[in-house]
Chain A
Amino acid sequence: MDSSFLIEKGVIILVVFSITMLIALYSTFAERVLAGYFQDRLGPNRAGPGGFLQPLADGVKMFTKEDFIPDTPNKWLFIIGPGLAMTTALMTSAVIPWGRQLTIGGYTATLQAADINIAMLYVFGVISIGVYGIMIGGWASNNKFSLLGAVRASSQMISYEVAMGLSIIAILMVSGSLSIHTIAEKQHGFIDWDWKGHFVWPSWYVFKQPLAFLIFLICAFAETNRTPFDLPECESELVGGYHTEYSSMKLGFFLFAEYVNMFISSAIISIVFFGGYNYPGMDWVTQHVGPNVATILGTVVLFAKVFFFIFFYMWVRWTVPRFRYDQLMNLGWKILMPLAILNIVITGIVLILTGP
């Protein structure tokens, strides 16, 4: 393990961390502007030109508010809760490939913090422990509404993890790898050509596995606790849900973790189903302009896809009303899970029929 490797990975981790924070910060602003647009009102427009400094004002407000801790026997757990939520939200970005190789002065750097061969499972592992922040925080609040929110969060996340994992299995069958980097590389360009140069099928997995994409998308909404599945913080029933008792930056961490989760899950959807850093004509750019330009363009394309999905999250939030709890459970266990299993069976049959 030489020092250049450590420096490369350190720089990538730092850059990814700052970009994640920046995007999460401005997602809160984008959400409020879009909410204003969807509800035919102005939205935040006072702080700075066009309200552009609003997130900073929010941050200052969060930091300077009174940090209230309720009368609870578990003060430590109450403090650990938001920290755990934030940590698990940030951990997933370690295995996400943000681009291909970049060559600077003879040194080749891969735009990915860690390319491990169980990356997809790692993502699921982190998602599955992500619920502890909400659960522990909600329980330690010593409040009935918080407890209900925490219990809802845990049962909802466990239920939707099942369908999510099953929908990903179909992708793993097609790609033959658990590494997200390999999954992205398998969707090279935009169209698969056979050896004669005939059109076969678009190479992005959304065209090969549309059903898996739909199931994964719905489950991603449930896992990030976004509307229409925001029952853990359902304000019309539970005051504020699991973060009712939180204030100041602890509340900020919970809210911020949701936006970080949204960014990361958008990145995973873009990479696994929409080709990630692949775009039509990337071979042409590599040949005629240069591999570095192609890589940077690929990263820009990836972020464009990610921004689209973040917009999609907000679009759905202001369009679809919240589910009832029994509807949520029915959708997860009785509709999505059988559909995912059906998709695995169909994928298996098609792979056997068309395989070598």
Chain B
Amino acid sequence: MDINSIIFWSLSTIAFICAIYTVIAKNPIFSAISLLVCFACIAGHYLLLNAQFLFIVHIIVYAGAIMVLFLTTLMLMNLNEESEKNKPAIAQIAALVVAVGLGLVLTLMVRKANLIVTLGPIPAGVGSIESLGKVLLDEYFYPFEFISVLLLSAMVGVVLLIKKDKPAELK
């Protein structure tokens, strides 16, 4: 086993364990922290694939911004094991159906996919910020712009939702 496979398998194992613990942890804070470790492992996978930009953006966006917001919210709500009550039966059944359905779809997709892919040596510059920028703004210019408009409209929508309650509160 070369060093890359050792890193790959240890990262995968940690990511897998943390993903399972995210679901089964009783304390939501532990759940969030193990999700954070899982994100870090996936970022490590990006680095193994020579995708430096994706690696660092994954860290900044998921670990640095989204999970900080999650943790802040969890801390403010002060959720802990005592406040974690059993969910009603209907919610449990719904969660089971959704999880099984999603698992089925993923399994079918993975079975159809060509799993064993032998990659040649990665050419220099693949995954670097220069090649990524060129691909995004030359080949995929319109999808890229559409996604940014979509995100902008979502942001405007959120601001509108927050503003809606203000006048009623002031009265």
A interface residues with partner B (beta carbon < 8 Å): 74, 77, 116-118, 121-122, 124-125, 127-129, 131-132, 135-136, 139, 147, 150-151, 154-155, 157-158, 161, 178
Q: Interface majority SS on A: helix, strand, loop or mixed?
A: helix
Pairs A–B under 8 Å by Cβ, sample size 24:
A74-B29, A77-B33, A117-B128, A117-B130, A118-B56, A118-B129, A121-B57, A121-B60, A124-B56, A124-B60, A125-B59, A128-B68, A132-B36, A132-B71, A135-B71, A135-B72, A136-B33, A147-B75, A150-B75, A151-B76, A155-B72, A158-B69, A161-B64, A178-B129
Q: Which 8 A-B pairs have the closest CB atoms?
A: A128-B64, A125-B59, A121-B56, A154-B72, A125-B60, A125-B56, A118-B52, A154-B68
A125's contact among B64, B71, B76, B130, by CB below 8 Å, is which? B64
In whole Å, how far is B149's beta carbon from the nearest beta carbon of chain A? 17
A154's contact among B57, B71, B128, by CB below 8 Å, is which? B71
B75's contact among A122, A128, A151, by CB below 8 Å, is which? A151
Q: Does B126 contact A (CB under 8 A)?
A: no
Task: Kindly name the residue among A77, A125, A150 whose own CB sees the greatest number of chain B CB atoms within 10 A.
Answer: A125
Contacts of A74 in B (CB 8 A): 29
The chain A residue sitting closest to B59, CB to CB, is A125
In whole Å, how far is A13's beta carbon from the nearest beta carbon of chain B? 19
Q: Interface majority SS on B: helix, strand, loop or mixed?
A: helix
Contacts of B59 in A (CB 8 A): 125, 128-129
CB–CB B53/A128 < 8 A? no
Q: Does B35 contact A (CB under 8 A)?
A: no
Contacts of A127 in B (CB 8 A): 64
CB–CB A129/B56 < 8 A? no
Interchain CA distance A7-B33 in the complex, whole Å = 36
CB–CB A129/B129 < 8 A? no
